[in-house]
Amino acid sequence: MNRRDFIQLTSAGAGALLLPGMAAGGRVIDAEALLDPGLDLAIKKRLADAGLNAAKAKGASYADVRIGRYLNQFVTTREDKVQSIVNLESFGVGVRVLVNGCWGFASLGDASTEAQVAETAEIAVQVAKANIALLDEPVQLAPQKGFGEVSYKTPFTKNLFEIPIKEKVDLLLSVNGAAMANGANFINSVLFMVNEQKYFASTDGSYIDQDIHRIWPTFTVTGIDRATGQFQTRNSLGTAKAMGYEYLQTAPPDRITGRPTTLFNNYYDMLDDATLAARQVKEKVKAKSVEAGKYDLVLDPSHLRLTIHESVGHATELDRVLGYEANLAGTSFATMDKWKSKTFKYGSPQVTVFADKIQPGSMGAVGWDDEGVKTKKWDLIKDGILVNYQAIRDQVHMLGETESHGCCYADSWNAVQFQRMANVSLAPGTQPLSVDELIKDVKKGIYIIGYGSYSIDQQRYNFQFGGQLFYEIKDGQITGMLKDVAYQSNTQEFWNSCVKVSDQRDYRVEGSFFDGKGQPPQLSCVSHGSATARFNGVNVINTARKV
């Protein structure tokens, strides 16, 4: 095995271990085992009741039990070779308790008896009692009604794990073959597929069974100019979705054309995208290097997703705002005094940003969060003004609210749940506005597609973002491809430079498996929606390495 193969294989393996539930130590299983339904609901309820009753008997005023089974499959290929096919399973129980205003948590892998769960709950109570000595202020838990026995399942028509491995391999090798036939020198392609089976029970009276399915098709195409030794890459424009295998469809005949993207809300034509990517990397190698300066930026949703995530999503998490979270990665400039003023201009009047956990197909879409709160939608920025944050049951009292926002999550049965980013999205414009109309009055601009490298400071304020594809705009026309592009700004300046947002017809939801936070770190699944948006007078730099 050569060095490149080794790095690719080990990177894929590490990626699999970062998927939800795998930090708990997943075990390799056969593909057929992915379709095993797992424990019967009646058994889960008995296990959960054993934990709840034990916690209450030992003095807990509140307790919840999460029984989690996490199933992952990933298929990795390179050019005409299959690199790896891995199926993983992780199963266990986590118990969280509140004793005299202090949290305690304990977990156990492969917990299959009532006695094991009860013992885990008793350990959680011991942890809470030990933590009381360190408590500055008792937890204030927002009231939450019990929902009884309820369930939620990701809507899909094709179960990810019912699709034969051969069909998945054939798809990826076809994708690779199309890229190579159209001039690519190298291509790696991967299918990540996840099923989270989560059962939540609490002393509030909820017994919630959820079955979450997610998929991420992705690739990286590399093109080399043999004469100069220069190379360029283009990553897949496919996004992660909470859908079934039906997401991987051939694009319908009436799909939008004329712009270099094949990413849409309800399907992803991976073969078409790889074909286009191979042609684009050859064009990127020979593209003109950008001249630094001020430009009007037209940002596609496949790019804007990351800017939203870093400069709004993380900045409006209440634990960051309060300084409770700083390890991964930082606090927030959007402090409580700005919110309390009711006048802080986070962005221009064209900027309305909302949080939600209910958008169909979004990675964060669930019926209830991991502390039994029904999910919902709410505004963070309204017409440019900061109006709210993202908060959970033990935080909302700080905002004068009595109901959690429903954005609590743990990435495994052995991790304690805490405040995580909901889907955070830029609302589309309210007036009819196509992308072509958005571009037509730009005198000097750049159209950016796909997300690339980025950097943002520890207060989510000063930043730099790159992308995948860059097109020069002159006098309302796209004139050709650019390279070596990144833009720099700060959060408030950038969002206040937003002058136009395309309408609902262009709105797309982009997702990721890998939103990191906490210490020890946890990963959550999140999406960001937007239509194409325009930002005037943004500073662009040339990132070419000078020799």
DSSP 300-319: -HHHHHHHHIIIIIGGGBHH
Show me where the domains of the chain are located: 3-214, 219-286, 293-542
What is the CB neighbour count within 10 angstroms for residue 292?
Answer: 15
CA atoms within 13 A on the CB side of 102: 17
Distance of CA 146 to the CA centre of its chain: 28
- Residue at 129: amino acid letter: K
CB 366 within 8 A of CB 210: yes
At 262 the pLDDT is 41
Report the relative pairing of strands 288-289 and 477-483 from DSSP bridges. Answer: parallel
DSSP codes of every residue in 364-413: T--SB-TTSPBP-EEEEEETTEE---B--TTTGGGGT-SS--S-EE-SST
Position of tokens 């007078």?
537
In the structure encoding, which two tokens stand for residue 536, read together?
């005037």
Cβ-in-10-Å burial (0-12, 13-18, 19+) of 7 comes to exposed
pLDDT of res. 153: 98
What is the pTM for the complete model shown?
Answer: 0.93
With vertex at residue 535, the alpha carbon angle to CA 309 and CA 512, rounded to the nearest 5 degrees, is 20
Which range, 236-245, 251-260, 322-331, has the best average confidence (pLDDT)?
Answer: 236-245
Q: Indicate the average pLDDT of the chain.
A: 93
DSSP state of 215: E
Closest C-alpha among 488, 492, 411 to residue 107 = 411
Is pLDDT of 7 > 80? no
User: What is the C-alpha to C-alpha distance for residues 370 and 198, in angstroms, rounded to an integer?
Assistant: 9
**Is-contact 421 411, C-beta < 8 A?**
no
Q: How confident is the model at residue 12 (pLDDT cuts 50, 70, 90)?
A: very low
Mean pLDDT of 163-170: 97
Q: Average pLDDT in the 174-202 region?
A: 97
Is residue 75 scored above 80 in pLDDT?
A: yes
The one-letter amino acid code at 299 reads L
Place 6 in a pLDDT band, splitting at 50, 70 and 90: very low
Residue recorded with tokens 């959007």: 334
Q: CB atoms < 10 A from the CB of 156, how many?
A: 18
How long, in residues, is the chain?
A: 547
Fold of 3-214: PmbA/TldD fold (3.30.2290)
Q: Give the distance between the most distant pair of CA atoms in the chain.
A: 75
Give whole-number Cα distances, 412 to 135, 242, 415, 522, in Å: 26, 18, 5, 8
Query: How confident is the model over 369-378, as pLDDT tens digits?
Result: 999 999 999 9
**Is residue 200 pLDDT above 50, yes or no?**
yes
pLDDT tens, 17-42? Answer: 455 555 556 899 999 999 999 999 99
Spacing of C-alpha 122 from chain mean position: 34
Q: How far apart are CA 470 and CA 283, in angstroms?
A: 11
Who has greater pLDDT, 12 or 46? 46
3-state secondary structure of 337: helix
Based on its alpha-carbon atoms, the radius of gyration of the chain, rounded to whole angstroms, reads 24
**Residue 419: both structure tokens together:** 């405040």
* Whether 255 contacts 287, CB under 8 Å: no
418-476 pLDDT, tens per residue? 999 999 999 999 999 999 999 999 999 999 999 999 999 999 999 999 999 999 999 99
